[in-house]
Every structure is written in C-alpha cells, then in structure tokens.
Amino acid sequence: MPANILNLRSYTVTAVQENDFDYYVDVESRHEPFGCPHCAHTALDGFGRREQMVKDLPMHGKRVGVYIDTRRYRCKACRKTFYETLPDINERRAMTNRLTLWVGKQAIKRTFASIAEEVGIDEKSVRSVFRDYINELEKTVRFETPKWMGIDEIHLVRPRGVIANIHNNTIVELLPNRNKETMIKYLSGLEGHKDVQFCSIDMWTPYKDAIELVMPQAKIVIDKFHVLKMANEAFERVRKSYRESLTPKQRRGLMHDRFVMLKREHDLTDQEALKLSGWLKNYPELGQAYRLKEDFFKIYDAKTPEDALARFSAWDRAVTHEVRDAFFDLIKAWRNWQPYIISYFDRPLAGQPITNAYTECLNGLIRVMDRLGRGYSFEALRAKILFAEGAFKKELIKPKFSKRRPEQDLRMKGYMMEYVSLARALPETSNQHNDEGRELNYGVDISTLTRMIENGEI
C-alpha cells in the first residue's frame, strides 16, 4: 500500500503515478455512510461506483490530481440511491477544501493566471474561488469607523471613492464610484457614523452634501493639497502663455524653468535659486506670477482662521489685472468653499492638521497595482488592497484591572452556576471583557501597503 502522501486522514491512497509535471493519486474514502440521507435507514446495499477527480494543493513543484473511487448505495427501505459523502472536498467545486482556502489567500498577493498555472485549473475558477473567499472575509473583517475621515477619489476607468482613516493613516474602503447616492448609502450604513468628528474632502459637492445629510455633526475640511494644486495650475497657465510670446532664443534661456518654478522657494538649491533670480529679473510678468503663487502657499502658514483670512485678502488685492484671469478659478473656489477651507486652520489635536496627504500617495500605488494586474476588475483590486495579509493596523485595548484575583472570579462563576435563573436574567459581566480585552482594526496601513507593493508582495 503506498504511503498517504496527501496527508488526508479520511482517505486511503491506493496508487500513485507521476510525470514531470503532475501527480495522479488514487484514493478511497475510509468511512462508510451511517444511513440513508433520505430516510435515515441504516440498511444499505452497494450499487456501483464512479471515479471523481478533484484538484489538491501543489506538491513538490507538481500539480496534484486526486482520483476518488466513490461508492454508490441503495437504501433497502426507500429504494433510493445516493453516492457517499466525500469529506474534505469542496461542495461546489472539484477541489479539496484546503486548496480553495489556499487559492483564496494566494489570489490576494498573486495574479490569477500564475495560480491557475501552478494548480492546473482554469483562471475563471481562481477568480470564482477568490470572490467567495472575499465574501467570507467581508463577514468577519470589520474596520473601526474613523473619527477623522478622509474622502478622496482615484481614476480607474472612472472615478472611484476612497475612504481613509486620517488619524491612523489607513484605508478602510474603496467604493465603485463617488456619486452622492453611493456616498450616502455607505455613510448611512457605517456603524458609529455619528461619532465622526472631521471629514477631509476635495471640492466635490456630492461629498459635502452626503456628509451634511448623514453626519451633520462632522466638520468638513477642504484638503490643503487640492487648494495648493489650483495655485500651481494657475501659475502654469501664466508660464505657458508667457513662453509663447518669447523668441526661440529666450525660450532656450528658460530651459527647465517648470521644474524650478514649481518648487517652493525654501526648497531650491543654491544653483536653482541663482537661475530663478535671473529669470524673475529678466521677465517681470513671470516673476509676478511666481511671487503670487509663493504668497498663496504662505497663507497655509497661518496659525488661526482669522490670520488665514487676512492673508488671503492681502493676496487677493495683490493679484493684478494682467494675471487675474489665470488665477480666477482659484479665487472663485476659495470664495465658494471658504468656510470649509478655513476649517483647516482649526487644529483639533496638538496642532495636527486635517489632511488627506497619505491618501493622495496611495492613489499612485493603486494605479501601479492596476497596471501589474493587467485588467483587474474593480472588485478584485479592492479586495487585494483591503484584505492584504499583514497590512492591517491593529491595536489591543487592554481590559481594566480587576481587583478580584483570578481564583475569586472562578468561585464567583461557580456560585452563579447554582442560580441558573438569575444567571440568565443578568447581562454579561465585565469580567468576561477583562479576561479577553478588545482588538481594534483601523484598516490597511498605508505605509505597510506601500512597502508590500514595492517589494512585490502584492
């Protein structure tokens, strides 16, 4: 009798064949049925056999096919026939249970095609197993509702909503779109949404409307980087327009000007600062636009909302007629969203600002994953990000110190068992929570996810 190389205790291996790529393992079930599944009668007759082939975990670098000699029975009482139940075999697929679990886990960090090649199944089967695996994870994995929530979007074919925990720098959800209806549905179904204190968003009206409808207690903050991005875009319009009016020789003198002028003044090297001073001196209109851009950035150095408003008013008065058209969108956006932009300067905790900076970094990583996957569906991409093994940011909340010693707790439980009716009437005691504690899952840590993507672990 060959050795049980499968290590499946419910089966006896009767034969093993192999070639350069595959194992072919013949097995029989060790357990006979206890009774008829239709009437539960125990008197059964053998009524033929059939061979079933199922796939198992790859072994020794080879694919594994298990050929089960499945017995058929007929009940003497009801005369109905049935095949024996096969333990450790998935009810929906011709795979072992351990293979379906392995495929589900591997599909989070590997491509479906590579797994299909290694196991010897169709890529569609991998996708199906992965979908069921994620559905099970959805039932068990729960992320804590952020007190500081970031809402942003990423463009994958079309805009997708990204929900982040700003305070813990984690991502907690990817939504199929960023429509108002989708946002309202998500926020309404969020456990503890009434405890959200701050929401950082860009200037997208459906975000604001959904938050004000579902979470009126949350303070809306327009993300700093979206406002500053508009300042850079305004300066770029001036720079490009001005270059068109120059001669080819003058344009060559401004070579690489974009990379220098989009830098903050305090970040310039000595060589870049020397170049910039020459450009601004020779091209006054360009210098004026650059100075306006830098002065707008300095608004965000304000420590209070009042200071920020005063700085913007002074900046607005300094915008001349020649460049006002280029800065028109920025000025209009500030005035339309002013209450929410100014909220940035209300620092809630130890001066820490509310910003979506980490989420903005994540958007680039998601695009990298999308390219590597070559056509992942949104659902697959979402699952690979939200359920990446080892990327969760967790915190164990220790229970309060109990004055009673452990043996006293045991005696107390013994006393309570004597009074069954009283025990049923009482709620769960705090001692149970003291024994176990509580683990908080804040979502997928963005820095950990970055490292895993860079190292090819996802």
Assess contact for 29 and 87: CB atoms under 8 A: yes
Residue 423 or 165, more confident: 165
Helix (H) or strand (E) holding 416: helix 406-418
- Pick from 290, 170, 196: nearest CA to 238: 290
> Could you give the percent of the chain with pLDDT greater than 90?
30
Provide CB contacts within 8 A for 172, sequence distance 6+.
143, 144, 146, 163, 164, 165, 386, 442, 443, 444
Mean of pLDDT over the chain: 82
pLDDT digits (tens, 9 = 90+) for 82-109: 888 888 999 889 999 999 999 999 988 8
Tell whether the model's pLDDT for residue 436 goes beyond 80.
Answer: no
Domain boundaries, the chain: 11-137, 225-345
Mean pLDDT of 267-281: 73
Assess contact for 271 and 278: CB atoms under 8 A: no
Partners of 149 in beta bridges: 165, 199
Tell whether the model's pLDDT for residue 199 goes beyond 70.
Answer: yes
pLDDT digits (tens, 9 = 90+) for 37-66: 888 888 888 888 888 999 999 999 999 999
Mean pLDDT of 202-207: 92
C-alpha–C-alpha distance, residues 444 and 399, integer Å: 25
Provide CB contacts within 8 A for 84, sequence distance 6+.
29, 32, 33, 70, 71, 72, 73
Q: What is the pTM of this model?
A: 0.74
pLDDT digits (tens, 9 = 90+) for 301-321: 888 899 999 999 999 999 888
The answer to whether the Cα torsion of 365, 367, 371, 375 is positive or negative is positive
Identify the weakest region by mean pLDDT among 38-42, 69-73, 128-132, 146-150: 38-42
Work out the burial of residue 139: count CB atoms within 10 Å of its CB; fewer than 13 is exposed, 13-18 middle, 19 or more buried. Answer: exposed
Tell whether the model's pLDDT for residue 425 goes beyond 50.
Answer: no
C-alpha–C-alpha distance, residues 219 and 337, integer Å: 13
Between the alpha carbon of residue 134 and those of residues 126, 300, 379, the distances in Å are 12, 42, 10
Query: Residue 405's pLDDT band (boundaries 50, 70, 90)?
Result: low
Tell whether the model's pLDDT for residue 434 goes beyond 70.
Answer: no
Q: Which amino acid is at 305?
A: P
Provide CB contacts within 8 A for 423, sequence distance 6+.
416, 417
Query: Residue 429's pLDDT band (boundaries 50, 70, 90)?
Result: very low
C-alpha–C-alpha distance, residues 257 and 282, integer Å: 13
Assess contact for 146 and 168: CB atoms under 8 A: yes
Provide CB contacts within 8 A for 245, sequence distance 6+.
none
Residue 261 or 222, more confident: 222
- 120 alpha-carbon distance from chain centroid: 30
C-alpha–C-alpha distance, residues 309 and 225, integer Å: 18
Assess contact for 29 and 86: CB atoms under 8 A: yes
Q: How many CA atoms lie within 13 Å of 129's alpha carbon, on the beta-carbon side?
A: 28
Identify the weakest region by mean pLDDT among 11-25, 156-170, 199-213: 156-170
Provide CB contacts within 8 A for 215, sequence distance 6+.
187, 193, 194, 196, 199
Assess contact for 361 and 450: CB atoms under 8 A: yes
Mean pLDDT of 248-272: 70
Work out the burial of residue 244: count CB atoms within 10 Å of its CB; fewer than 13 is exposed, 13-18 middle, 19 or more buried. Answer: exposed
